[in-house]
């Protein structure tokens, strides 16, 4: 298997622009997670899906952030409008059966908002 | 509140043993993970403890004491490639859903 695939790997954008991050989970994994990682706050769980349905989005920092999973093989995380404090590495991960199981992380998207 | 504490940095010598500690406070408790993350890379799974005690997996072992809210990761026969950040994460009870809280990681430097 190719593992979890994320795109783009790097994104540089200006404040106020819309940013869309993309993720393809491992085939057969029913759970998909979006994380944000910064030096100050470490790794934070933003939202996770089970069978394409959002289960817990309490980690999403504010309304500027939204996530969708239209099918089992694709998810997006959108930031609109973006702000400099959104600069971070965003990871997507998938697992077979939820939080009690090993998660496989994608390579991450390094986002820089200027 | 929910919180994870682990040391920010540690240094150890190649071939030695190192123990990385983690204390946690969660609303409810449903298990504890350790992940390894090399610089510029994604985290990779090391271990998952639900019950008290030590679980060994090759050179790596993980220990859990639920009554003390404490875990450690033990790395034996250290190799240079073990230089990485080690993340502790606890599953808590979020009511209708479970919560997964990560610590900020312990950066381990293995020296020759």
- Residue B94 pLDDT class (50, 70, 90 cuts): low
B103 touches chain A (CB under 8 A): yes
- Residue A10 pLDDT class (50, 70, 90 cuts): very high
Overall average pLDDT of the A36-44 stretch: 92
Q: A84 exposed, middle or buried (CB, 10 Å; 0-12, 13-18, 19+)?
A: exposed
**Distance (Å) from the alpha carbon of A42 to chain B's nearest alpha carbon:** 4
Interface test with B, best of A103, A104, A107 (most B CBs within 10 A): A103
- Residue A62 pLDDT class (50, 70, 90 cuts): confident
**Closest to B94 (Cβ–Cβ): which among A43, A56, A101?**
A56
- Residue A99 pLDDT class (50, 70, 90 cuts): confident
pLDDT digit string (tens) for A82-93?
A: 999 999 999 999
Is pLDDT of A1 > 80? no
- The number of angstroms, rounded, from the C-alpha of B51 to the middle of its chain's C-alpha atoms is 15
Residues with Cβ within 8 Å of residue B95, at least 6 apart in sequence: none
Distance, in Å, from the CA atom of A91 to the CA atom of A16, rounded to the nearest integer, reads 22
Partners of B42 on chain A (C-beta within 8 Å) are 91, 105-108
B100 touches chain A (CB under 8 A): yes
Residues with Cβ within 8 Å of residue A2, at least 6 apart in sequence: none
pLDDT digit string (tens) for B31-63?
A: 999 999 999 999 999 999 999 999 999 999 999
Is pLDDT of B96 > 60? no
Q: How many CB pairs under 8 A join A and B?
A: 48
**Closest to B105 (Cβ–Cβ): which among A42, A56, A100?**
A42
- Residue B109 pLDDT class (50, 70, 90 cuts): very high
Percent of chain B with pLDDT over 90: 82
Overall average pLDDT of the A14-40 stretch: 96
Count of alpha carbons within 13 angstroms of residue A37, beta-carbon side: 24
Is pLDDT of A39 > 70? yes
Q: Which among A57, A104, A58, A109 has a CA at the least distance from the CA of A86?
A: A109
> Range with the lowest mean pLDDT among A42-56, A64-78, B34-48, B90-104?
B90-104
A43 touches chain B (CB under 8 A): yes
């Amino acid at each position: 298997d190719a593992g979890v695939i994320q795109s783009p790997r790097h994104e540089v954008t200006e404040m106020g622009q819309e940013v869309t991050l993309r993720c393809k989970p491992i085939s057969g994994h029913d759970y998909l997670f979006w994380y944000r990682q910064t030096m100050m706050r470490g790794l934070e769980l933003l939202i996770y899906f089970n069978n394409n349905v959002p289960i817990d989005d309490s980690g999403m920092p504010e309304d500027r952030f939204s996530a969708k999973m239209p099918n089992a093989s694709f998810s997006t995380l959108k930031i609109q409008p973006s702000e400099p404090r959104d600069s971070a590495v965003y990871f997507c991960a998938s697992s077979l059966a939820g939080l009690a199981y090993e998660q496989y992380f994608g390579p991450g998207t390094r986002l820089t908002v200027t | 509140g929910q919180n994870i504490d682990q040391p920010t940095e540690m240094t150890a010598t190649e071939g030695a043993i190192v123990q990385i500690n983690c204390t946690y406070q969660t609303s409810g408790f449903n298990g504890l993970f350790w992940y390894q993350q090399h610089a510029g890379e994604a985290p990779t799974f090391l271990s998952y403890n639900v019950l008290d005690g030590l679980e060994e997996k090759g050179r790596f072992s993980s220990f859990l004491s639920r009554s003390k809210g404490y875990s450690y990761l033990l790395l034996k026969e250290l190799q240079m490639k073990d230089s990485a950040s080690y993340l502790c994460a606890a599953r808590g009870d979020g009511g209708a859903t479970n919560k997964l809280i990560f610590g900020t990681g312990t950066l381990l430097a293995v020296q020759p």
